[in-house]
């Protein structure tokens, strides 16, 4: 009697239930194609918030420091660069899982940042951006006045001309 073995194919796409579960676990998850495979445009990242800044960490293996471009506009941070993967000379690819090429990734932060005082450190393929919160985003106390205090006071010159 022959033994039957179930055929197993590795999954590169999440089921719809897994995608919805991941959406609730990670609000910055992109549902574009439900792909689980990392590509140059879909690298791994972390976003943290401190009392006065946002800290963004992005894993960028194969990216040279000089090819990175980081821009901010209001509360959106954009990372652009190029992943360089070159095959050895006179080699034939048996299995090729690394992809090279240009990438562009945007992150929407919960508040505006002060780009003038932001810092970026790139060490061993890990980019750490420290983005101070904009001064307008801080908590402010607003003094409450009564209606009598808020009413304009007439000056002597205004009453004399009336």
Q: What does the pLDDT look like over 80-102, one tens digit per residue?
A: 988 888 888 998 888 887 778 88
**Domains (ranges, CATH) in the chain?**
10-39 (no CATH), 44-88+96-135 (2.60.40.790)
Q: Is 142 in a helix, a strand, or coil?
A: coil
Query: With contact defined as beta carbons under 8 Å apart, do 68 and 83 qualify?
Result: no
What is the DSSP annotation of 29-75?
A: ---GGGB-S--TTS--EEEEE-SSEEEEEEE-TTB-GGG-EEEEETT
Q: Is 133 in a helix, a strand, or coil?
A: strand
Query: With contact defined as beta carbons under 8 Å apart, do 60 and 127 qualify?
Result: yes
148 vs 113, more confident: 113
Read off the pTM: 0.58
pLDDT score, position 140: 60
What is the torsional sign of CA 107, 101, 116, 126?
A: positive
Both tokens of 102, joined, read 């240009």
């Amino acid at each position: 009697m022959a033994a039957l073995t179930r055929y197993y194919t590795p999954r590169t796409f999440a089921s719809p239930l897994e995608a919805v579960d991941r959406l609730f676990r990670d609000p910055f998850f992109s549902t574009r194609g439900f792909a689980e495979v990392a590509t140059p445009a879909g690298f791994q990242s972390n976003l943290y918030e401190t009392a006065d800044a946002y800290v963004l960490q992005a894993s960028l293996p194969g990216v040279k420091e000089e090819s990175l471009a980081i821009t901010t506009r209001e509360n959106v941070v954009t990372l652009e660069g190029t992943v360089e993967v070159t095959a050895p000379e006179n080699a034939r690819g048996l299995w090729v899982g690394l992809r090279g090429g240009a990438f562009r990734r945007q992150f929407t932060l919960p508040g505006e940042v002060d780009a003038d005082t932001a810092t970026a450190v790139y060490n061993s393929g890990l980019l750490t951006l420290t983005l101070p919160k904009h001064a307008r985003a801080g908590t402010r106390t607003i003094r409450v006045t009564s209606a009598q205090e808020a009413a304009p006071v007439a000056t002597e010159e205004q009453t004399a001309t009336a």
